[in-house]
Structure 1
Amino acid sequence: MSKRITPFASRYCSTLDRLKEAIRRKRPGIFRKGVVLQHNNASPHSANLTQQWLQRYGWEILPHPAHSPDLAPSDFHLFGPLKRHLGGIAFETEDDLISELRNWFDNLDVDFFPVGINSLLSRWQKCIDLHGDYVEKK
């Protein structure tokens, strides 16, 4: 029995379309080398529609052990500092929040994202060494 096409999978594929176009414009050499994508096992990521999209464009997916947020750079590198920055601030409007988020992202050190991405290799190695257990546990 095949999985239903969910609106979330359709939306995720639309996001992948925009990502593909942005990579094509900004980093055309990546397509010659091949795109390697890391996403978790959320249902939009594992849906048949998404899998078909990924196969159509030949994007390689890094396997992601279940319940391992410690392998997603957004979880281990981005959201912690962002949460600490926003902690205790009461925003009066959504626009105030958006403004603060833009300010925070605009003022990140130029090395912020490369540091997070580059630490992924050692985190993956820890996960392999721990046979898929949480990297942060050991």
Structure 2
Amino acid sequence: MELNISKTSIYCILTEHLGLREVCSRFVPHKLSDDQKLLRIQHSKDIIKEVKKDKNFLYNIVTGGETWCFQYYPMEKSNVKTMLICFYDSKGIVHKEFVPPGQNVNAVFYLKLLKRLVRRIRRVRPEYSEDESWRLLWSHRSTLVTDYLTKNHILTINHSPYSPDMAPCDFFLFGKMHLPMKGKRYADVEAVQKDCTDILAAIPADELKHSFDMLLDRAKSCIEAEGDYFE
């Protein structure tokens, strides 16, 4: 359905009428509540505490997120897009997939996605074969997902809602991927997906690893900002 609304008008609606702001290319509440700030502080303290206990803690995290990839950069009217869901750790991309057109993205979908991720981890990360040898940093917490994680002894890292500035996929990976796509016009969705795949594969492992060091720095920045956004 074509709404014929300009990008400027959309931005105005999001920021002025809905009270949102942009953080790490995500629209989030302009002001966090006191409870949300306290939660961000607590989760930041949890990360710092775990790093003090185990210096390799950050490098055994598998984190995931999702982003839209477009046929035209910059976006144009009647644009074709595809949703990418990607998981990575300090060693490389662990699993990625593009959501099929028309797919209902709900709790059932995320549960099936999680099962595919776990199977993939068993194949490509044998060092994660033992229980509690890795941790998942992912924002989806439906009952179906949490029950599966508990039954399969998969440890998780608490992730505060509305916190893209604390999510490696948002503050690092997706920005790194989208940057070289700017100014391009792709022939079709398949071409978009291929370029996304190639760009992700070309990101050096040391940069991926550094993004987890950045997570520790951001946890400290979050505490210094008293739980508020710090960028």
Q: TM-score range by the shorter chain?
A: 0.7 to 0.9
Separation of aligned partners in 1, 2:127 and 2:160: 29
Map of 2:135 onto structure 1: 36
Distance in 1 of aligned mates of 2:219 and 2:177:
23
What is the CA–CA distance in structure 2 between the aligned matches of 1:71 and 1:19, rounded to whole Å?
A: 22
**Given the alignment of the two structures, is residue 15 of structure 1 paired with residue 113 of structure 2, yes or no?**
yes
Structure 1 unaligned residues grouped into runs of 5+: 1-5
What is the root-mean-square deviation of aligned Cα atoms in Å? 2.2
Runs of 4+ in 1 over 6 A off after TM superposition: none
The aligned residue for residue 108 of structure 1 is: 203
Point out where structure 2 has 5 or more consecutive residues left out of the alignment.
1-103
Letter of the aligned partner of 2:106 in structure 1?
F
Contact 2:131 2:154 in 1 (8 A): no
Aligned CA distance change for structure 1 residues 30 and 125 (closer, same or farther; 3 Å): farther
Larger radius of gyration: 2
Return the letter of the residue paired with 2:138.
H
The 2-side partners of 1:135 and 1:79 are apart by: 19
Whether the 8 Å contact between 2:137 and 2:159 is mirrored in structure 1 is: yes
Q: How many residues matched?
A: 127
Look up the match of 1:3. Answer: none
8 A contact 1:13–1:50 mirrored in 2? yes
The CA distance in 2 between the partners of 1:105 and 1:27, in whole Å, is 18
| SS of residue paired to 2:111 | helix
Q: Give the alignment of 1:62-81 within 5 angstroms.
A: 62-81=157-176
Trace 1:114-133 onto structure 2 (pairs within 5 A).
Answer: 114-133=209-228
**Which structure has greater helix proportion?**
1
Of 27, 52, 57, the match for 2:147:
52
Counterpart residue identity of residue 28, structure 1: P
Stretch deviating more after TM superposition (23-32 or 69-78) = 23-32
Shift of residue 33 of structure 1? 5.5
If each structure's strand is expressed as a fraction of its own residues, which one has the higher value? 2
Deviation at 1:118, TM superposition (A): 2.7
For the residues of structure 1 that align with 2:145 and 2:198, how far apart are their CA atoms? 33
Whose relative contact order is higher, 1 or 2, with alpha carbons under 8 Å and at least 6 apart? 2
CA distance in 1, matches of 2:208, 2:199: 13
Partner of residue 41, structure 2:
none
Q: Residue 131 of structure 2 contacts residue 153 of structure 2 at CA under 8 Å; is this kept in 1?
A: no
Q: In structure 2, do the counterparts of structure 1 residues 133 and 33 end up closer, same or farther at CA, with 3 Å as the change threshold? A: farther
Tell me which amino acid in the other structure corresponds to 2:113.
Answer: T
TM (norm. structure 1) is: 0.77
* CA displacement 1:65-107 (0-9 Å, x = unmatched): 2211011111000121222211111112222222322332233
